[in-house]
């Protein structure tokens, strides 16, 4: 048993809450298994060439990453905060 599993087991509540916790854990395991099956059916991970092509098409259609800030923006922010502390 992995350490993470042992820690998770220690936090399991009793009674009806415990049953719900196990049902949720089972649902998550099923979701992960379904994702793996879809990935395998689709052909696995794309090659470097396929990935580059998909990214190029995404940007050609005007795609922008809106979920996360660009890596260079994050790096610049971190460097600026370090300068201020010094």
- Residue 11 in tokens: 């936090």
pLDDT of 33 above 80? yes
CB atoms within 10 A of CB 21: 15
Does the structure show a pLDDT above 60 at 63?
yes
Most confident of 41-45, 62-66, 68-72, 82-86: 41-45
Rounded Cα distance between 32 and 52, Å, is 26
pTM over 0.85: no
How far apart (Å, rounded) are the C-alpha atoms in residues 48 and 53? Answer: 9
- Tell me what the pLDDT averaged over the chain comes to: 78
Domain edges within the chain: 1-45, 46-86
CB half-sphere exposure, 46, CA atoms < 13 A: 8
For the segment 52-57, the average pLDDT, to the nearest whole number, is 90
Return the higher-pLDDT residue of 24 and 62.
Answer: 24
């Amino acid at each position: 048993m992995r350490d993470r599993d042992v820690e998770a087991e220690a936090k399991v509540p009793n009674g009806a809450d415990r049953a719900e916790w196990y049902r949720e854990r089972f649902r998550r395991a099923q979701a992960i298994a379904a994702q793996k099956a879809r990935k395998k059916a689709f052909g696995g991970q794309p090659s470097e060439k396929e990935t580059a092509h998909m990214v190029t098409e995404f940007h050609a259609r005007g795609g922008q990453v809106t979920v996360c800030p660009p890596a260079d923006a994050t790096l610049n922010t971190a460097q600026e905060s370090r300068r201020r502390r010094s």
